[in-house]
Structure 1
Amino acid sequence: MLTQLLHRLQDSFYWTVNVKRFRWVLLADAFIFSSTAIGDMIICGREQVVTAILRIAAAVINSFAFIQVQRELASWSNVGNQNPDLNAWQFPSIVAGQATAVPMLLIPFWIEFSGDFHDVADILVIIIASLMLLLAFIAALGALFSKSGSLTVSWGVVIALLPLAGLIQFWYMTFYRPVHERPRVNVVAKIDEFRRYGKVTHAQGAVTVNNVGSGELDVLGAFYTVTAYDNGSTGHMMTSDQVRDALTRSRVAWREESGYKGVLKVGRLVRHGGHLTPGQKLLTSFSFDVDNRLQEKLRLTVFLSLITHGGEDLGEFRKCEPEDAEETYVCFQSKLPRESIIRGWLGDSPEARVSLRKPTDETPVPHLETDFLAVTWPSKKKHEETAVQSIDLYRRSRAVTSSVEYRLDP
């Protein structure tokens, strides 16, 4: 049944699988694979070396198949046959080249269908990839049901190993690497009193950030704040509504009886676009003075926004103007680097926007927010995203918030 169905499909696409026409598919595959592989190695460096080598291998095999077909057609022309009845699956080199192309042609689908935005350019790339994938399937499967028996053991090994290598590389980049290289950091925050004169306390804070993961991290934002509070009513028991309110709101809201007084100290731990290599530890210390008559409790809070490092550094961070600019201390925005040429076409030009927000009724303390934007073509309209994974599968982001409190004695 399957054989009959395949033969019908082959007959339907006879005009395509005839080698006289199919040779141009081979030439197109060779050009696309080689040009994108060389471009990725130049633009993205070591991150794309493995997949680039596989694409170059596919390009070489398809180029060899094109040359072989040209020679075969020339020999038939010499004997007076201008239109030989030869199908693509009768050439082992064609079958090997198309079988190798299949896993590589699946990557654009994975990238596009995992995202939320599908613009004109994306649809065009998917249409081209669909046609190339269909032709590759017909040529590769045709050899399995062909009676010509043209495949040799050597070509069979090539057909088996190269597509398998492509699938392994695709699995590594799409599943293994994001899980094992997701941002992992340890944060230690301390705040202590080291001297007091009358009503003035000299305090010192320290923040240690340690990259305990296996991958290099890019820093989108890294800030600390020291905020002041009243202690609130002594022995006050929270009501059920207050407990529910504290647990359902933002992690950094700290809904309690303590009254928020304001910001005493604020600073940046790592520059925007900085790096944290595996095992790297950064220590930041600072000192400040506290008037004991104006506040009773201090809270040191650390805000981190991190992303897995890609093939390139983050773009230059520029100041941005959010719609609610009056509620924001600072806002910076940067374009995320391309992981590959095909991801650049399908990835909707992702950008990261980092904002240190002022206290609000919902979140009555300063807090860090990171938004990811996707730019669609041709409208160039920006859309907010909740996670960068929906824009770029190979990168993972993480927000880290850590805090410690210190009570001032009278």
Structure 2
Amino acid sequence: MARIAVIGAGIIGAAAATRLIGDGHDVTVYDADPDGLPTSSGNAALLAFPEIAPIASPDMLTAVPRWLLDPLGPLTLRWMDVPALMPWLLAFLGSATPAKVARTRQALTMLMRTALRDHEDLAGIAGISGHLRQTGYISVHDSEASIKAALHEAQSVEQALGYPFERLSAETARAMVPQLEGAFAGAVHQPIYWMVSNPLTVLRQYQAFVRTRGSLVAGRVTAIRRNADGLTPMVDGAPTASFDRVVVAAGVWSRDLVRQLGTRVLLENERGYNTTFTDLGWNLSMPVGFADHGFIASPLVDGLRVGGAVELARPQTSPNYNRAKAMRAKMRRYVPSLPEGGTQWMGRRPSTPDSLPVISRDPHEPRVVYAFGHGHLGLTLSAVTARLVADLVKPKAPEATLAPLSINRFQ
């Protein structure tokens, strides 16, 4: 087959490497800190198959001014970073048209159709099992208007993917999740949501497979040297081996390699915060989303994780853990038994303005394949991305259905 370098050992890079090894390729993965805690390790553990709506939409734009006035709300900016973020922000606003929203929904629907089967197939390649479980998901809402908006979205998902849903009274929601003792107007239940046992555990299992069947090398790739015979990653400024293909899956830092290759991309840092509790003595029966506040509480096999919301900032900007504190305080309105404490965390989710990942070849160097920009859907879309990457490393024309995911949309 081929000698392939994968840049990035987070969930996208590790999944892609696993799939490529399963196809018989000779794979080496490079990561600046392979034993660290990448963004995927702090995921809510959800496989969010119904989530085909982009962040930018006409309805969302009307809420943005109110959100931005709340520095601890569901969407905020680090204002000192606005000049650096401006090209992305302008494209984000431009993505909120009905036509572009429809395009994004269609592309995400295509990815979600096979996402569960791809997770099962990838687990089979790596020889792991018991980490996937169908839990369902409920979103709780503070008002009738919020419930109606959620039902409208659920109906759209049902039309696109066939996933069922049901409206719940507050009493019925409490019967399903007894810890929801606070006041709310009602809830929406979607049974199709799955979870992984713990995202870090799953990531380590894929990385272990790569170490056993390929190579996982510690080192930051700063450039890709091209010649007729192959591609050479430059690790900390020094050349390494030559490869037939290179897969760039380095999260938000992928943009540096993209630009070094002479290609344009709009990729920024959609930061999320969470708090994980490991000694509660109780847990939720299923993940619960607090729709009017932009965060989720999800039951891992070894604890409860409370996190979410969106903060746009440069990768190097210091964390604002008051956002995690605010989510905990808001959750106590609904779950009064949530204690103080827990372990706080911040992750840097690589996001595009249109909420679509980049899964494509480089337009100038087709031996380079890109796989990044999944936003909050990295874990959900990791396995289907791995399958598509495995197709893109083959010397054939990409499927027409991948055109919306191409990096050419930024050129």
Same fold at TM > 0.5:
no
Structure whose alpha-carbon radius of gyration is higher: 1
TM-score w.r.t. the length of structure 2 is 0.20
- Comparing both chains, which one has the higher relative contact order based on Cα–Cα distances under 8 Å and sequence gaps of 6 or more? 2
TM-score by length of structure 1 reads 0.20
